[in-house]
A and B are shown apart, each in its own frame.
Chain A
Amino acid sequence: QSVLTQPPSVSAAPGQKVTISCSGSSSNIGNNYVSWYQQLPGTAPKLLIYENNKRPSGIPDRFSASKSGTSATLGITGLQTGDEADYYCGTWDSSLSAGPVFGGGTKLTVL
């Protein structure tokens, strides 16, 4: 059972837009930065978004994210077949032994 809650799967057609939600609490998302990671099949996770809504160099602006209260959302526009991957949200949890926590992951299928 992950600390952060994500939908197991989402799907959309090429060219369309999709959003992935990430729900937490005041001890994690509510008071810490959220990051998003893309994991293509058979590869290591890759940083997609950091500090709630910033994109590292090389990440296209089709990827965006936001945070409100204890939830965060990743948005992907102009879907491409190459976007098929697992997406994870991550943040810091300040309860008990403070440390990083992740969502359970969302598998994106581009139909």
Chain B
Amino acid sequence: QVQLQESGPGLVKSSETLSLTCTVSGGSINSYYWSWIRQPPGKGLEWIGYIYYSGSTNYNPSLKSRVTISVDTSKNQFSLKLTSVTAADTAVYYCAREGTVTKKFDYWGQGTLVTVSS
């Protein structure tokens, strides 16, 4: 059974960089798109971006200038960096696996709340 687990600071100061890592267990990170998705408190889901195991990436145009997603296949991990954060970036951040053909998000991490403080 594939499992994903997010890790990283739960509190980030405004204007600084948010950094999270997702560790994949129970399966290889090879193949599939590996995504970051966030959910502000009380709001809906917003896709941030994905990375393919080869390193190719695709980002949400609304966040593209501030986002970097990287992968470490040797550790079965992928990571998110979001720069110049503001209070609007406060959200639960999920990592998830997406099928390259079916485009379904079939495995999700439990999510981690990141709060941006002023």
A binds B: yes
Contact among B44, B46, B60, B105 for A97, CB-based, below 8 A: B60
Contacts of A40 in B (CB 8 A): none
B8-16, B24-32, B82-90, B108-116: which lies at the interface: B108-116
Contacts of B59 in A (CB 8 A): 97, 99
Complex alpha-carbon distance, A101 and B45, angstroms: 9
Contact among B50, B61, B103 for A91, CB-based, below 8 A: B103
Let me know if B104 is at the binding interface, CB within 8 A: yes
Minimum distance in angstroms from B50 CB to a CB of chain A: 7
A100-B98 in contact (CB<8A): yes
B residues contacting the other copy or chain, number (CB 8 A)? 24
Minimum distance in angstroms from B8 CB to a CB of chain A: 16
B-side interface residues toward A, CB under 8 Å?
A: 35, 44-47, 49-50, 58-61, 64, 94, 98-99, 102-106, 108-111
A10-18, A44-52, A62-70, A77-85: which lies at the interface: A44-52
A102-B47 in contact (CB<8A): yes
Let me know if A105 is at the binding interface, CB within 8 A: yes
| Chain A stretch 11-53: residues in CB contact (< 8 A) with chain B | 32-33, 35, 37, 43-47, 50-51
Let me know if A98 is at the binding interface, CB within 8 A: yes
B45-A51 in contact (CB<8A): no
B94-A45 in contact (CB<8A): yes
Pick 26 A–B contacts, CB within 8 A, sort by A: A32-B103, A33-B103, A37-B45, A43-B110, A44-B94, A44-B110, A45-B105, A47-B104, A47-B105, A50-B104, A51-B102, A51-B104, A56-B106, A88-B44, A90-B45, A92-B103, A97-B60, A99-B47, A99-B49, A99-B58, A99-B60, A100-B47, A100-B50, A100-B105, A101-B47, A102-B44
Contact among A33, A88, A96 for B61, CB-based, below 8 A: A96
Complex alpha-carbon distance, A102 and B94, angstroms: 14
B108-A44 in contact (CB<8A): yes
